[in-house]
Amino acid sequence: MFKQLQTFKTVFETRNFSQAAEQLFISQPTVSTQIKQLEAELNTTLFTRNGRQEIEPTASGELLYRQAQQLLETWATTKNAVRATSERTKIPVRIGASHTTASLILPGLLKALAPFSDRFDIEMTLANSAEILTQMSQHKLDFGLVEKPLVTDDLNRLAFGHDELVHAGDFTSPLWLLREPNSGVRHYTNAFLKARNIQPDQVMVIHSNQLIADMLAQGVGQTVISRHMVDATVPTETLSANYRRQFYLLTKTTAAKNLAPVQNLITTYLQSWQ
């Protein structure tokens, strides 16, 4: 049943039987068979086809997806707890961080978490804020550090610290260095360009604050970026309070009890971070 639920979850998230098969390393007929078996067991239809490859979940599929996430999470937690007891296996801790929080917060946080490495297997994922939210909602991460006030029913959000964005670089340069569209910095950059009525003639989209900061230090381009990231030699322009943002810790509403020590340490560290 858990294999069927995992297959269903993957099909639901990819909306494609072939892609689900690739991710699960099984054949497409096996995926189709498991979904049919699950539908027979529940006496319902979980997906409808809109075309040769495109599928959409039914109302039953939407409901099962929400429940399946919780069931699979509970099963994974149970397996880890049992293995930790019998085999002294470390408990996995999956932390996702946006690029800005990774640069500013992670070094100190990971240092604080280092003593836990004898009991916990800590894994870091870097992505933009929207991707972190998606992975949290899909139970692929246990904790998320983001710089956008994202909200969902399945997650708690704790505000901490502040960051100041500045206009930085060669202000005469026609080249603008931009983050990808779903990043928190890009949101503020778009607002800045609109407020100044600027339509850049030249643009580079770069998925890394550090790389942008390195280019600015070499005298290449201009952008909106965290003041903490900018080299002291780079010209900066202080912006209004609208460009002062807060960071957020995302946690699950039903957090696993065996992760409580980690969550308590992360929360305590972030609440004192400035």
pTM over 0.75: no
Residue 47 belongs to domain with CATH number: 1.10.10.10
Q: What is the sign, positive or negative, of the torsion defined by CA atoms of 114, 117, 123, 129?
A: negative
Beta-bridged to residue 238, according to DSSP, are 166
Quickly state the pLDDT bin for 137 (edges 50, 70, 90).
confident
Residue 121 belongs to domain spanning = 90-273
* Residues in CB range of 86: below 8 A, 6 or more apart: none
Does 176 share its domain with 257? yes
β 143-146/244-252 pair status: antiparallel
Question: Are 120 and 137 within one domain?
Answer: yes
Domain end marker among 66, 85, 104? 85
Question: Same domain for 124 and 173?
Answer: yes
250 and 159 in a common domain: yes
Instruction: Summarize pLDDT for 151-186 with one digit per residue, the tens.
Output: 677 788 899 988 899 999 999 999 999 999 878 789
Whether 106 and 195 share a structural domain: yes
35 and 61: one domain? yes
- Give the pLDDT band of residue 86 (cuts 50, 70, 90): low
Task: Say whether both 163 and 241 belong to one domain.
Answer: yes
- Tokens 């690029």 locate to 99
Q: Which residues of 95-119 are buried (b: 16+ CB within 10 A; e: fewer)?
A: bbbbbbbbbbbbeebeeebeebeee
Could you tell me the two tokens for 119? 């009991």
Say which amino acid occupies 246. Answer: Q
Does 163 share its domain with 246?
A: yes
Per-residue pLDDT at 264 exceeds 90 = yes
- The rounded percent of the chain whose pLDDT value lies above 90 is 42
Total Cβ atoms within 10 A of residue 272 = 9
Picking from 35, 65, 85, the residue at the C-terminal end of a domain is 85
Average pLDDT over residues 126-150: 86
pLDDT value at residue 119: 87
pLDDT of residue 90: 83
pLDDT at 187 > cutoff 90: no
Mean pLDDT on 141-145: 93
197's tokens? 């009525």
Check residue 85 and give its pLDDT: 64
What does the pLDDT look like over 8-44, one tens digit per residue? 888 888 888 888 888 888 888 898 899 999 989 999 9
Count of domains observed in the chain:
2
